[in-house]
Structure 1
Amino acid sequence: MFRQFRRRWWGVPLWLALVLMPLSGMLSVKLPLPDGPVYLLFLPVTLTVALLMVFDWAALPGITLAIFWHYLTIFSPGQALICCTLFICGISSCWLGYRIWAGRQWGATPGTQGLGVMRLLWIGLLLPTLLVFLLQTMVTLKIVPASLSIFNRNPLTLRTLINYQAILISCIAILPLYYVAIRCFRHGRYFSRQVNLLRQQIAENVSQVEIRIWLVWLTMLVIVLMVLHSREQNQAISDFALLLLLPTMLWAAARFGYLLSALAWSLVLILLYQFRTQPELSLHLAVNTTSLLIWSLILYFIGINGVRQRRLIKKSREAALVDPVVDLPNLRALQAMLAQQASSTLCFLRIPDLDRLSRTWGLDLRIEYKRRLAAHLQPLLQPKEEIYHLPGFALALRLDKATHEKRIEQISAHSDRYSLRWQGLPLQPDIGISYCHVVPPVNNLPRLLGQLSEMAEVSLHSHQPESLQQDNMHAQRQAKEKLAQLDEVQQALDNERFVMLAQRIEGLRGDDYHELLLRLVDAQGEQLTPAHFLPIVQEFGLTWEMDRWVLQHALSFIDRCRVRLPAMRFAINIHAASLYRPYFVSDLEQLLKQYQVEPWQLILEISEAAGNMNFSAGYRTINRLRRLGCRIAIDNFGTGYASYLQLKTLQADMLKIDGSFIQNMLHSPLDYQIIESICRVARLKRMQIVAGCVESDAVAAALRGLGIDYLQGFAISEPQPLTSLAER
């Protein structure tokens, strides 16, 4: 029942209009002039608009009764009825137009973004204009006597202009105060919401001292103006002091936002006009009223635009703290949060396989995996804890330090159980986890994350979370050694510290060729085998740089020695990851044209691991290489779990049997049978067979008996520097 009383027309809207309409009439400022009285503020119009903005059409009956009673105290019943009818018609037509345009936002708080201009048009301009036109028409047509009205028979007078400006100021400047007061009366919680909104609109760099200084200055200025307005002999001083109101209110509009400045300006106008009692010249009063009207519009737009600008800046700052693609907080957000917390546990998740997977499936896989992994771990987090997106293939978690011990283990176990199903294939790459405790200020967060990344790499091998603390010196030492190896590989690539050896592979039909073997010369001048540096190359994504270096130097050697070594063929090992590069074939074709080398002079050996994952991109690259004219050899065949399945689907020219079978073939009947079965399957595929690790003449004779096409090993030839081929 009480809820209906607050909403129905016969409840709060009716009685509020009947009570507040006489009060608004008393607060309206009416000033006598030589040619007749004028209004400086006409608040009944403001009250009607505020009631409509709060109660909508339910306020119209109460407004009608209140307006009719107001005019009944001035005119005869017939005249009061006519005036009330015209007043309600003007109000209703403008409100109807505004309601149709505003839609559901008709009752939004004054100053709401997106409604400002049209609300000023319908309520601040059209409504006062229509009301003045209708009321002036009644006086001009002698429907009501001019002696009882504020309008003259002649509409083209300063008196009409002043009254028109009074209604304009009332609808523009005083409306926010009425609206907020009525809304707070209707909803008790609205006051607290308005206080919060007021705080949000204040600029971030505004201090309490600045607000107090402004309030004290405004209070003193208003008191001085009220005293001056009450004395006739101080009119010039009063006008000068009135000019000080503009910078004071501009200060509030620019710094404190629209709501505070609008409410303060409404109270200032009501107080100042209440003490303006001396008669003035009509022209002087019209100029002053025009100034106040213009000031009201200026304060409105400056306050609205200031709030809008601060909101845009705030949104841009918030957007800068969130990655727009992964939709997770980024590194800047992590740094800001670490600075706010007294202590935190920083957890680092490293997923290096995402780099390889994204080269095959595209960046969409990396984005979706990180997004879903974050959603998978989100239930384990407490309030104010967050998952942060880091560039590349890593995530970071900020945890409360007090409860990190058990929860790190929970996060590790939870992440190990996570898998992503992508295009029908379940993907579950290994995740390395490291963590450390931090206390603000964290001065060099990127460097700390780099150290955590090193520890997470150690975690990939230890299969447990690693702590970046002083008691974990062994793991830190391993990470530093790995970085040192990476630096050494990079220096070798930049400074030409790699050397290539050539090992002859004997063809049973006389078509010998050489395999190029890579060695790294360290600082001591020793040559390191690929087993020492290839894991680092593969782990840190330097496979293409390495393959390009080998291809470029091999083709350059063929170009230089084409006269001494015509029809020279080289076998070059290519990493599986290079096959998934979109421009691998085109880059190779460009190198062949640059050094004028025929494609058949290259035999590209690809490890069987390249086919362990059925990626169509790798198969397409192999087919393009074969169409280009290069020969493809499957290296280390027999070591994988799906060798024959890959042999069935992968198209290649040569098959190189893994050396572990060759070394024991004379002593292990099983190895001998495996080699024999591989040879039968390879012949069905019309592939040539290469046997590696041939270290004795007996093994070589047995392989020749099986029909092997090519033999490689120390029994055939030892590796020698590539340059020695040209010298010989």
Structure 2
Amino acid sequence: MNLLKYYQQYRDKWWALPLVLPALLLPVARWANTYTMLNGHMVFLYYLPLALVLSLMMFFGWAAIPGIIIGLLLTLAHGMLLEQSIGVLFHFLIPCVLCWGGYRIFVPQRQQVSHGNVRLMPHRLFWQMLLPSVIFLILSQIAEYLGLHPRTTEMTGVTPFSLRSLITFQALMVGCLTGMPLCYFVLRVIRNPFHLRGFISQVRLQIDPKIKKIEIICWATVLILLLWLLLMPLNDSSTIFSTNYTLSLLMPVMLWGAMRFGYRFISLIWTPVLIAVIHFHYRYLPIYPSYNTQLAITSSSYLVFSFIVAYTAMLATQQRLIYARVRQMAFLDPVVHMPNLRALSRALNGTSWSTLCFLRIPELELLGRHYGVLLRIQYKQMLANHLRTLLQPNEAVYHLAGHDLVFPSQ
């Protein structure tokens, strides 16, 4: 117990989790990257380390900087010269610190709430996706122009408005858009493993209650079938379903899941699916004369699909929560804040038989004339609270118009 207490007390210190996690997670994030060759030069299709470093800053603040520096030196800057290592450090720290500070200024409250909040989505799209990608790309161009980039010999001739820059910019944005929620979830689970239990309960809460098991099975089957067609190696007998045509079919399937299963579930599924689809892009994008243009179009599809899936899932989840709240309010009296006659009818429909006990207090009219309506409301509320202690757990006291209370007894 003392060890657990010390862990909870000191886990957010700069010498605890913020110092260890970057060195452990950056190799995994680097492994998730995907790049290809374009006109003899390397270009990224998916880039996750920026999202991880930014998530560490958003989660731990200034305490994450020492660990980020050590993690970058041990992974991305390993084997480089001193000036190149310093360039890599500033390449990551400048956009992350600026975007972290701007986000804290413009979102003063509930900054670390989990992703999926529609109100915070515009701020997060700007400070956690668009701006860090722009700054990171600009610093890359400056480093390549000054010859500080460790792979300058492979990236000569790069212009800010080239096709390679466009694909790289889209890779940075899709990495931040899909990687930030995933990295944030991983950090929260590592920091507090009990968060996983709360996450599972949120997933169950966001799923449409009308969903049947057969619908989940059908959705998973269609998704696996499309992935199998998409990732199957190309050969002479391949059909159109083995090309990026199948990639466009993933969109309605993921929208189906986004609208039915909620944001928590679909974000946890879509990011690994997207990483796998991008990693094996060569299986549905054969090299032919217009390969460069097709690669840019497909890269933009990754970004557009991810945004539409995430935003649709947020809206559908919020709509279900609002509908459930409105439906719950319809069964409560707005003045007395007790279950009303509609709630009583619903409770009676769910039981085979019940004994109704009516309780009438005619003196409430006289009390209300002398002491006001508030006394009548408080009296009925206090009487209902007293009666609930005598009832079964599945029984309740219902408010009727006038001076009556009723409670069913099974």
Q: Considering the TM-score relative to the shorter chain, is it more than 0.5?
A: yes
SS at 1:386 equivalent: coil
| Contact 1:136–1:151 (CA under 8 A) maintained in structure 2 | no
Question: Is 1:140–1:154's contact at 8 Å kept on the other side of the alignment?
Answer: no
Query: RMSD between aligned alpha carbons?
Result: 2.5
Residue 398 (structure 1) shift: 3.1
> Of 271, 278, 302, which residue of structure 2 is paired with 1:292?
302
Shift of 1:362: 5.9
Note if contact 2:23-2:75 (Cα within 8 Å) is conserved in structure 1: no
Quote the Cα distance in structure 2 between the aligned partners of 1:93 and 1:334.
Answer: 56
2:285 maps to 1:275: no
Partner of 2:399, secondary structure, is strand
Counterpart Cα distance in 1 of 2:152 and 2:383? 81
Counterpart CA distance in 1 for 2:144 and 2:81 is: 14
| Structure having the larger proportion of residues in strand | 1
Matched, 1:8 2:38: no
Q: Which has the higher contact order (CA 8 A, sep 6+)?
A: 2
1:58 maps to which of 63, 68, 77: 63
Tell me if 1:391 matches 2:397.
no
Task: Give, as a single letter, the amino acid of the residue that structure 1 aligns with 2:280.
Answer: F
CA distance in 2, matches of 1:366, 1:295: 57
Show structure 2 runs of 5+ residues with no match: 1-5
CA distance in 2, matches of 1:189, 1:86: 35
Kept in 2: contact 1:79–1:144 (CA 8 A): yes
**1:380 aligned to 2:390?**
yes
Q: CA deviation at 1:168?
A: 0.3
Structure 1 residues 11-20 or 311-320, which shifts more? 11-20
Q: What secondary structure does 1:348 align onto?
A: strand
2:161 to 153, 156, 161: 156
Q: CA deviation at 1:298?
A: 0.9
Shift in alpha-carbon separation, 1:111–1:187, aligned structure 2, 3 A = same
2 CA distance for matches of 1:151 and 1:61? 32
CA distance in 1, matches of 2:245, 2:379: 68
Q: Would the aligned equivalents of 1:321 and 1:333 in 2 still touch at CA under 8 Å?
A: yes
What pairs with 1:256-275 in structure 2 (closer than 5 Å)? 256-275=261-280
**Structure with bigger gyration radius:** 1
Rounded Cα–Cα distance in structure 1 between residues aligned with 2:23 and 2:142 = 27
The alignment status of 1:137 with 2:126, answered yes or no, reads no
User: Helix, strand or coil for the counterpart of 2:108?
Assistant: helix
Q: 2: distance between equivalents of 1:351 and 1:390?
A: 12
Kindly provide the amino acid, as one letter, of the partner of residue 251 in structure 2: L
Cα pair 1:71 1:84 within 8 Å, conserved? no
Letter in 1 for 2:406: A
* One-letter amino acid of the structure 1 residue matched with residue 180 of structure 2: L
Q: How does 1:23-62 map to 2 (within 5 A)?
A: 23-62=28-67
Provide the rounded CA distance (Å) in 2 between the counterparts of 1:257 and 1:301: 11
Q: Displacement, 1:191? A: 1.2
Deviation of 1:354 (Å): 3.5
Letter in 2 for 1:274: H
Equivalence for 1:110: 115
Say which of 86, 96, 101 aligns to 1:91: 96
| Structure 2 equivalent of residue 221 of structure 1 | 226
Q: CA deviation at 1:143?
A: 3.2
Equivalent in the alignment of 1:190: 195
CA distance in 2, matches of 1:328, 1:106: 35
Identical pairs, percent = 34
Alpha carbons 2:77, 2:88 under 8 Å: kept: no
Where 1:244 maps in the other structure, the secondary structure is: helix
2:3 aligned residue: none
- Structure 1 unmatched runs, 5+: 402-728
Answer yes or no: is 1:241 the counterpart of 2:246: yes
Normalising by structure 2, we get a TM-score of: 0.89
State the Cα distance separating 1:306 from its structure 2 match. 0.4
- CA shift, 1:252, in A, is 0.6
Q: Which amino acid aligns with 1:171?
A: C
After superposition, give the CA deviation of every residue in 1:161-215 in whole Å (9 maximum; x if it has no partner): 1011001001102322222223222222111111111111111211111011111
Q: Per-residue CA shift, 1:624-683, capped at 9, x if unaligned?
A: xxxxxxxxxxxxxxxxxxxxxxxxxxxxxxxxxxxxxxxxxxxxxxxxxxxxxxxxxxxx
* 2:81 match: 76
State how far apart, in whole Å, the 2-side matches of 1:216 and 1:388 are. Answer: 46
Distance in 2 (CA, whole Å) between partners of 1:181 and 1:232 is 42
Deviations 1:208-240 (A, max 9, x none): 110111111111111211115x66995954121
Q: Cα distance, 1:364 vs. partner?
A: 4.4
- For 1:82 and 1:114, the matched residues in 2 are separated by 36
Three-state SS of the structure 2 residue aligned to 1:349 is strand
Q: Does 1:327 align with 2:337?
A: yes
TM-score, normalised to structure 1, is: 0.52
CA deviation after TM superposition for structure 1 residue 39, in Å: 0.6
1:343 Cα shift? 5.2
Is the CA contact 2:125–2:177 (under 8 Å) kept in the aligned structure 1? yes
Are residues 151 and 51 of structure 1, via their aligned partners in 2, closer, same or farther at CA, if it must alter by over 3 Å?
farther
Change (3 A) 1:155 1:74: farther
Offset of residue 44 of structure 1: 0.6
Counterpart residue number, 1:204: 209
Separation (CA, whole Å) in 2 of partners of 1:203 and 1:131: 39
The Cα offsets for residues 295-327 of structure 1, whole Å up to 9 and x where unpaired, read as: 111111111010010000000011001101011
CA contact under 8 A between 2:133 and 2:172: conserved in structure 1? yes
Structure 1 pair 74–171 and aligned structure 2 pair: CA distance change class (3 A): farther
Q: Is the 8 A contact 1:21 1:66 kept in 2?
A: yes
CA contact (8 A) 2:144 2:155 kept: no
Q: How far apart are the structure 1 equivalents of 2:236 and 2:178?
A: 26
User: Secondary structure in 1 aligned to 2:117?
Assistant: coil
Aligned length: 399
Measure, in 2, the Cα distance between the counterparts of 1:306 and 1:255. Answer: 8
Cα offset for 1:109?
A: 1.2
Alignment of structure 1 residues 309-458 onto 2, 5 Å: 309-341=319-351, 344-355=354-365, 358=368, 363-399=373-409, 401=410
Q: Distance in 2 between matches of 1:110 and 1:381?
A: 41
1:570-623 alpha-carbon deviations (Å, 9 max, x no partner)? xxxxxxxxxxxxxxxxxxxxxxxxxxxxxxxxxxxxxxxxxxxxxxxxxxxxxx
Amino acid in the other structure paired with 2:302:
L
Mapped partners of 1:150, 1:5: distance in 2: 44
User: In 2, distance between residues paired with 1:366 and 1:149?
Assistant: 81
The residue number in structure 2 matching 1:651 is none
In 2: Cα distance, 1:142 partner to 1:376 partner: 78
Q: Is the 8 A contact 2:50 2:92 kept in 1?
A: no
| Cα distance between partner residues in 1 of 2:164 and 2:79 | 19
Give, in whole Å, the separation in 1 of the partners of 2:106 and 2:183.
Answer: 23
